[in-house]
Structure 1
Amino acid sequence: MGYNQALVDELNLLLHFDLDTTQQGIKVHHTAAPSQIGAAERLHQKGLITLHDGGYLTELGREAAEHAQIMLGLLKETTSA
């Protein structure tokens, strides 16, 4: 099983969260791309964010966002080497 577009959209949305603070969330507006709206709804259903249109990371969401950011950093380093 590989990453499908829905999972990539969810990973990309997790990258928008600032992990340096727990006091800042995100808002996915109704005018956003349908892929972003759907990603936010799925992340909420999975218990990773507090609201269907963004909000804050849950404890599990923070862990997922940390892993997503680490993975992106590793992949960027690998491709630029």
Structure 2
Amino acid sequence: MRRSCETGKGEDELLTLGEPLPCEQDCREQLGLSRTWDAATEEPEDEDEWSFATCDMTPHVAAALGTSPLKLGTQTRVRGIGVLAHTS
């Protein structure tokens, strides 16, 4: 199970579950950050950069785990029932 939460109100790490996915680690490395992170030792500037990067990461994480919602369309073949969670 993996859940990441960025509320902008601090202590988001308490709402985050599971180990970082390889695609998250790759993104951090591309930003020049450590592949793993610890909120207690993270520099505020690095945390801000990471928080900003995660805003655009959802479709990439979805694609890494299954299907990106950005790739769904009339050409998409489906079987069974698809469920997509939409949050504010």
State TM-score, norm by structure 1.
0.35
State TM-score, norm by structure 2.
0.33
More strand by share: 1
* Higher RCO (CA < 8 A, seq sep 6+): 1
More helix by share: 1
